[in-house]
Amino acid sequence: MKKIFVLTVAFIAGMALTANAAQIATGQTAKCNDAKSITLESNGASGTFGAKDGYTDNDRGTANVVVWKSSNFTTVPLTLGPNDNNDSVNGADHGKTGIPQRGGMGKSKVTLVSQSNFSRGDSIGDISGLVKITNTGTNAVMVSCN
């Protein structure tokens, strides 16, 4: 009986320490508990222009999530826009304005890393405790808790 108890406790502890990943569709929620890092990645394909009125049918690969953190009971919206271009418009002037070109393409992946000693309790880096990630967009999101 003691061996079964010890094996059960070891199994549960092993499961708690392993990283878990989930792909969440629109309206679904993934949970991470006391993670050292949380990786969010857009699983949307590149923009296809076959939808109604010439718009893309998959929101150009953009992923929208809402992150709720039990550590301070705050909700933070995040958007991953791998096909969104936010280049500055002065790239075509060939340097005549003297302003350097800034910006670039959006990101398809972001990793939130646990940090300690916050001066403000509303920081996105405070991922201690339970963190719930809800997909509010049209494309699937891969969530990895490490």
C-alpha pair distances (Å), 91 with each of 88, 95, 106: 7, 7, 17
Distance CA 145, CA 27 (A): 19
Per-residue pLDDT tens over the stretch 80-128: 987 777 777 666 666 677 777 777 778 889 999 887 765 555 567 678 8
Q: How far apart are CA 62 and CA 9, in angstroms?
A: 41
Q: What is the DSSP letter of 14?
A: H
Spatial distance between the Cα atoms of 124 and 77, rounded to a whole number of angstroms: 10
Encode pLDDT of 25-63 as tens digits: 999 999 999 999 999 999 865 555 555 655 555 666 788
